Amino acid sequence: MADIKEGEHQGTAPSISVVLPAYNEEPNVAAAIAQAATAMQGIGADYEIIVVDDGSRDNTAQVIQRLVPTTPGLRLVRHPVNRGYGGALRSGFAAATREWIMLNASDNQFEMSEVTRFLPLMPGNDLVCGYRADRQDHPMRKLNAFGWNLTVRLLFGYLTRDIDCGFKLFRKTVLDRVILTSNGAMVDTELLAGARARGLRIAEVPVTHLPRRQGHATGANLRVIVRAFQDLFAFRRRLSDELERERPR
Q: Is the pLDDT of residue 168 over 90?
A: yes
What is d(CA 52, CA 38) in angstroms, rounded to the nearest whole number?
19
Q: What percent of the chain has pLDDT over 90?
A: 69
> 15-244 falls under which CATH superfamily?
Spore Coat Polysaccharide Biosynthesis Protein SpsA; Chain A (3.90.550.10)
Please state, for a pLDDT cut of 70, what percent of the chain lies above it.
90
pLDDT of residue 217: 55
Read off the pLDDT of each residue in 109-126 and give the average, rounded to a whole number.
96
* CB-CB neighbours of 2 under 10 Å: 16
Q: Which of 139, 137, 136, 152 is nearest to 185 (CA)?
A: 152
Q: What is the pTM of this model?
A: 0.87
DSSP label of 3? P
What would the mean pLDDT of 60-83 be, rounded to a whole number? 97
Q: Where are the domains of the chain?
A: 15-244
Q: Is the pLDDT confidence value at 122 over 50?
A: yes
| Lowest-confidence region among 3-17, 37-51, 62-76, 189-203 | 3-17
**Exposure letters 48-86 (e unless 16+ CB within 10 A, then b):** bbbbbbbbbebebbebbeebeeebebbbbbbbeebbbbb
CA dihedral (232, 238, 239, 240) positive or negative: positive
